[in-house]
């Protein structure tokens, strides 16, 4: 074999090996689910969480709830397990533990959970897949919400997509108000997937940089977005205005007012751009009807919803699944105001 032939054969071998190594997203996901970290964690979570909840229940009887009759202690059923697994997935995403998040959302999908919980799991799984750089799988998970919406004949704001949008808007706003950018990032990523507006997650990423004491990095990231042609023109214009305002104050993005106002304003714009039905769902949120049990927390922008150690998810689910309150008798004809930034 000549030198040129050997080089050609070697190059062909390298290309063949590279082609074999380029796994599809589905193959990478299958590898994750077959991996030791996933299988061990899922086994522990599926078997251990019910026992842990029961241990909590009985422990409460002998701690601060001493003297309380067993019948008055919190009861944990299958629905509570679904919520607990969703909360663990949510916490895992906040800590950037994507394998755990995938495992927890898979558990919810495998169990007999409510339809709302299944869609919430799909929404969180889409965020995990996005962070694993599997865009097609991420979009497929997000599309499950819209597919469920298309199977319903009712009003958009009461359907699965409207419910999920209200959930992420409400809890995202709450996280922004508390300066919990790790949580806000989750909801911004989820909304970005739902609305096909990936720039939302990048803006929340700038908030994370502020939280970590890197305001200059945040401002640089926002400037790049304001010059990115893939970002809608109206958003870029709004970003440029916010940046000019921050630079006029010495580049101060590390303030309570700047980043929360930026994120809530642009999230609202993304919803408006998605059409009138999405706008009506968001308006219900602004009216504090869809998330009425959480209304006080949303209005004050403080962390009251976190005091119940996970009860906020149940409140959100119950609120979003309940019928819309009757409209006031008097119709003023005015459009509800946008959420305060």
- Please tell me whether the overall predicted TM-score, pTM, comes out greater than 0.85 for this model: no
Q: Which residues contact 3 (CB under 8 A, 6 or more apart)?
A: none
**Please, what is the Cα angle at 215 between 92 and 229, to 5 degrees?**
85
pLDDT at 104 over 90: yes
User: Alpha-carbon distance 311 to 213, whole Å?
Assistant: 31
User: Alpha-carbon distance 33 to 228, whole Å?
Assistant: 36
Residue 293: Cβ within 10 Å count: 16
Say how far residue 273 (Cα) sits from the centre of its chain: 19
pLDDT at 29 over 80: yes
Mean pLDDT of 191-196: 86
Contact status, residue 249 vs residue 298, Cβ threshold 8 Å:
no
Report the pLDDT value the prediction gives residue 211, as an integer from 0 to 100.
Answer: 77
User: Alpha-carbon distance 259 to 138, whole Å?
Assistant: 26
Most confident range (mean pLDDT) of 64-73, 118-127, 235-244, 305-314 is 118-127
Alpha-carbon torsion (238, 241, 246, 247), positive or negative: positive
Report the pLDDT value the prediction gives residue 127, as an integer from 0 to 100.
Answer: 92
Contact status, residue 291 vs residue 166, Cβ threshold 8 Å:
yes
pLDDT at 236 over 70: yes
pLDDT at 90 over 50: yes
User: Alpha-carbon distance 193 to 101, whole Å?
Assistant: 17
The tokens describing 335, both together, are 């459009």
pLDDT digits over 61-86, tens only? 555 554 555 555 556 677 778 888 88
Of 159 and 226, which is predicted with more confidence? 226
Each residue of 181-214: b (16+ CB within 10 Å) or e? Answer: bbbbbbbbbbbbbbbebbbbbbbbbbbbbbbeeb
Q: Which string of DSSP letters, residue by residue, matches 58-70?
A: HHHHTTTTTT--G
User: Alpha-carbon distance 212 to 195, whole Å?
Assistant: 28
Helices (H), 62-113: 78-94, 98-110
* Average pLDDT score, the chain: 71
Report the pLDDT value the prediction gives residue 39, as an integer from 0 to 100.
Answer: 95
């Amino acid at each position: 074999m000549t030198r040129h032939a050997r080089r050609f054969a070697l190059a062909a071998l390298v290309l063949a090996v590279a082609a074999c190594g380029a796994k599809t997203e589905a193959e990478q996901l299958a590898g994750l689910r077959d991996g030791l970290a996933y299988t061990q964690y899922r086994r522990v979570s599926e078997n251990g969480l019910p026992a842990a909840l029961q241990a909590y229940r009985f422990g409460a009887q002998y701690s601060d709830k001493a003297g309380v009759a067993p019948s008055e202690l919190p009861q944990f059923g299958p629905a509570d397990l679904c919520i607990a697994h969703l909360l663990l997935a949510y916490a895992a995403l906040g800590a950037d533990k994507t394998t755990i998040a995938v495992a927890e959302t898979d558990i919810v999908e495998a169990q007999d959970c409510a339809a709302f919980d299944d869609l919430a799991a799909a929404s969180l799984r889409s965020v995990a897949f996005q962070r694993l750089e599997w865009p097609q799988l991420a979009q497929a998970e997000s599309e499950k919400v819209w597919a469920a919406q298309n199977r319903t004949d009712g009003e958009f704001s009461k359907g699965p997509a409207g419910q999920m949008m209200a959930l992420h808007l409400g809890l995202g706003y709450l996280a922004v108000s508390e300066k919990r950018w790790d949580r806000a990032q989750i909801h911004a990523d989820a909304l970005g997937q739902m609305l096909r507006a990936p720039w939302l997650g990048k803006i929340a990423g700038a908030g994370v940089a502020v939280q970590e004491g890197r305001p200059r990095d945040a401002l640089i990231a926002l400037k790049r977005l304001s010059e990115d042609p893939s970002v809608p023109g109206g958003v870029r214009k709004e970003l440029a205005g916010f940046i000019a305002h921050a630079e006029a104050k010495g580049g101060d993005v590390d303030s309570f007012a700047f980043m929360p106002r930026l994120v809530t304003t642009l999230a609202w714009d993304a919803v408006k751009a998605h059409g009138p039905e999405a706008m009506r769902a968001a308006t219900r949120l602004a009216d504090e009807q869809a998330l009425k049990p959480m209304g006080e927390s949303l209005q004050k922008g403080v962390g009251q919803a976190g005091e119940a150690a996970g009860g906020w998810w149940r409140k959100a689910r119950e609120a979003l699944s309940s019928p819309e309150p009757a409209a006031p008798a008097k119709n003023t004809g005015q459009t509800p105001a946008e959420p305060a930034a």
